[in-house]
Structure 1
């Protein structure tokens, strides 16, 4: 041992050796085995399946016939709204139905909580570059911003109406021609849902967890 190290107290040498040992252990620590990673991924998939297995009300051809008559009949029906939301998710435009539902929920909000909820809706869906920004013109966006200053149940009426019209003239028409709607419109072969029907119901149920309900 060199004189420099020999001159150090024994306690210092021991501490230095302990630190060296700990660093070496950390450097040699192996990554989690692939089996553990795969197991964690399987657990995540199981959690998703639990959500998909949530049962929704049976959708009959009579109901889907009503949905074809008007967009209002579709969006005001619980199952219709869930089915349409599932379709929008496939088109990566689900923020539109989320915003519409949020506005409906907002109208039921107690007065003392209205300001906070209005601000949250604006920051989530309307403000430029917001997380779930909907497609609104700048005039409507700014008018809605001003409405927040004197917040009431009509705060989002103009913005909600614009998004409703956008969905009605665009996404709704494609939804009526979609495979999802055609499958839902098929009459059941017997009293037991077939595999295809179960698949469609799970697809709708999977997304419906994201939609708030309203009175």
Structure 2
């Protein structure tokens, strides 16, 4: 790349030397006229007239006077007043998190029944699909990690919805899902979606009315005057925290979750085949680069050889 730049510079220098004196004068005048017309805006240093000022260490030097030390003392006092976590507590929490998530890490503990990238068996993907009839045990255990883990899993959210229906509070999760759909929906449908959510969950006498505090309701009603996709975030957060602190712990202690955990599928480990002739044939690559090689191999394997004569025994 640098050789190309040097070659172009030499060619331009050679062409400039071969020009006549009048042509060189015209080119110089054209260049000066161009920069007079396209000069930098006011306040911006021009590299053709003056070089940019270099930063000086002495100009940025702070005076060590009484005001400076007063600011330092005040900053240290505020730092001492902050709540900090001890290193022992943070390390203990880190170890607890690692031990909890270690069985669910396919790199640390492996994946059952087998790694599909190695064995060419897609059973692992089929058992961990977004919608399955019987989830695996590791998948059900992850629902107890956090409320967010439960909501991110479509199967876990469906079972949580069934639990809320038994407690006559399914409208809370339905409202949370409606707010999520509003946030990620199209811009043209935002006013209609906001009005539909309000009429179904927040309006007086609504069919599936949700219970939110008066302050959040006032803020939401004020935002409904100019509806946008984030107008229901405060109400959604209130319902989210209500389910997290009230319904989610009861779901983990319920017989429904214990039954799901007991009936969850534990996939058996796939045994490796001992004999090479029992291995599954690998799928050939559709790459065009391999087609000529395969074609030549077929010709060589044909009886009679490339010449068409009978092959030797």
Q: TM-score range by the shorter chain?
A: 0.5 to 0.7
Query: Are 2:140 and 2:264, in contact at CA under 8 Å, matched by a contact in 1?
Result: no
Distance 1:59 1:152, change over 3 A: same
Over residues 123-163 of structure 1, what are the superposed CA-to-partner deviations in whole Å (9 max), with x where a residue is unaligned?
11112321101110122112112212222221111000000
TM-score normalized with structure 1 length: 0.60
1: CA distance, partners of 2:132 / 2:144: 20
Q: Aligned with 2:238: secondary structure?
A: helix
Aligned to 1:77: 153
Aligned to 2:224: 148
Query: Are 2:137 and 2:266, in contact at CA under 8 Å, matched by a contact in 1?
Result: no
> Is 1:68 aligned with 2:144?
yes
Distance 1:189 1:85, change over 3 A: closer
Aligned to 1:201: none
Equivalent position to 2:163, from 87, 104, 120:
87
Question: Residues 10-89 of structure 1: matches in 2 within 5 Å?
Answer: 56-89=132-165
Q: Aligned with 1:131: secondary structure?
A: coil
Could you tell which deviates more after superposition, 137-146 or 169-178? 137-146
Q: Which has the larger radius of gyration?
A: 2
Give the superposition deviation at 1:165: 0.3
Aligned to 1:161: 237
> Is 1:128 aligned with 2:204?
yes
Task: Tell which has more relative contact order, 1 or 2 (C-alpha 8 A, sep 6+).
Answer: 1
Query: Are 1:115 and 1:148, in contact at CA under 8 Å, matched by a contact in 2?
Result: no
Aligned to 2:189: 113
2: CA distance, partners of 1:135 / 1:56: 33
Q: Aligned with 2:193: secondary structure?
A: helix
2: CA distance, partners of 1:109 / 1:68: 30
TM-score normalized with structure 2 length: 0.42
Q: Aligned with 1:155: secondary structure?
A: coil
Larger proportion of helix: 1
Equivalent position to 1:100, from 171, 176, 185:
176
1: CA distance, partners of 2:163 / 2:173: 10
Query: Are 1:106 and 1:114, in contact at CA under 8 Å, matched by a contact in 2?
Result: yes
Could you tell which deviates more after superposition, 57-66 or 151-160? 57-66
1: CA distance, partners of 2:266 / 2:141: 20
Could you tell which deviates more after superposition, 136-145 or 68-77? 136-145
Please provide the CA RMSD for this pair: 1.8
> Is 1:139 aligned with 2:208?
no
Distance 1:190 1:138, change over 3 A: closer
Equivalent residue pairs, number: 137
2: CA distance, partners of 1:67 / 1:98: 19
2: CA distance, partners of 1:188 / 1:129: 41
Aligned to 1:206: none
